[in-house]
Amino acid sequence: MSKILDGKEVAKAIKVKVKEEALALKEKGIYPKLVVLRVGESKASMTYERMAIKVMRSVGIVAEALTLPEEATLDELLQAIDGLNKDESIHGVIVMQPLPSHIRRHDIASHLDPQKDVDAMNPVNLGLLMVNDPSAMAPSTARAVIEILDHYHYELKGAEVCVIGSSPVVGKPLVNLLLNRYATVSNCRFSTRDCTIHTTKADIVISATGSLGLVGPEHITKGATVIDVGFGYKDGKPCGDVRFDEVEPIASAITPVPGGVGSVTTAVLALQTIKAAKMQNGILEA
């Protein structure tokens, strides 16, 4: 039986740290604040928004929602972002996705202040991540994977890691986070002729494609660690990229779905809001 890498346990540890840091900032007269900006009434976005605000408030971060109607124009959204950028009481901003079909992510990403961009939408942050700049924000899901590996004391330096998926939201930034930790990283995507050539050589396999049930036992070498970033519903049940029941007996450790990576993302968002508040007040990260 493999070890279950419990995302809820990781999130709990992060929240303890965030709560301590938020209290320390308040003693300096700094009240860390996050705004969740949403356009439209996407149920998934509304659910995440409620959860994020609840988590922020539980750890001492002020959190508010700013909602624009589905029919809001690009100019109206950019004006809203400008207002958030200029408001010195706000330290972090996350723009909920998906956006309405008439607004492209590309049209707004560069408009968000990189220091307030706590989910790394702005390509400036992705560039800073590339050069391992300590001021870089990382997409919360990608960083959540690293937080899980750190919590369970994985030595990434020299580890063979295969990341399946190359989106700018998870796959690509995760590859860079791993490279910054001196892992040896291979990256598979939809055009990879045979993923098993790469995954079976890996100590750690991370799947972040959203293709439910993509990863089976043929992808894993016995004793490997498996991190499942995917999430969706199949036959009414939540599941991820990994066929858990088939892979779990082979892996040495594995994240469940639900209760794995997804459980850590809002805690990471809180962590990065604290980081943003520090940077904006000249309290540099170590």
Tens of pLDDT, residue by residue over 63-106, are: 999 999 999 999 999 999 999 999 999 999 999 999 999 999 99
Residues 32/22, Cβ–Cβ less than 8 Å: yes
Residues 213/239, Cβ–Cβ less than 8 Å: yes
Look at 235 and 264; give whichever has higher pLDDT.
Answer: 264
- Three-class SS of residue 195? coil
Note the pLDDT of residue 235.
87
Note the pLDDT of residue 75.
97
Place 286 in a pLDDT band, splitting at 50, 70 and 90.
very low
Quick count: other Cβ atoms within 10 Å of Cβ 245? 8
Percentage of residues of the chain with pLDDT beyond 70 = 99
- Three-class SS of residue 142? helix
pLDDT higher than threshold 70 for residue 111: yes
Residues 182/158, Cβ–Cβ less than 8 Å: yes
The whole-angstrom separation of Cα 103 and Cα 142 is 24
170: its two tokens? 């998870």
Tens digits of residue pLDDT in 162-206: 999 999 999 999 999 999 999 999 999 989 999 999 999 999 999
pLDDT higher than threshold 50 for residue 255: yes
Give mean pLDDT, residues 216-239. 94
Q: Which of 64, 61, 79 is nearest to 25 (CA)?
A: 61
The whole-angstrom separation of Cα 253 and Cα 248 is 8
Note the pLDDT of residue 285.
58
55: its two tokens? 């988590």
The whole-angstrom separation of Cα 56 and Cα 284 is 22
pLDDT higher than threshold 90 for residue 15: yes
The whole-angstrom separation of Cα 204 and Cα 151 is 15
pTM of the model: 0.95
Please state the separation of Cα 267 from the chain's center in Å. 10
Place 236 in a pLDDT band, splitting at 50, 70 and 90.
confident
Averaged confidence pLDDT in the chain: 96
With b meaning 16 or more CB within 10 Å and e meaning fewer, what string describes 17-38?
A: ebbebbeebeeeebebbbbbbb
pLDDT higher than threshold 80 for residue 284: no
- Three-class SS of residue 76? helix
Note the pLDDT of residue 193.
95
Residues 243-247: contacts with CB under 8 Å, at least 24 apart: 243/213, 243/215, 243/216, 243/217, 246/216, 246/217, 247/215, 247/216, 247/217, 247/219, 247/220
Q: Which domains does the chain have, with CATH numbers?
A: 29-113 (3.40.50.10860), 140-263 (3.40.50.720)
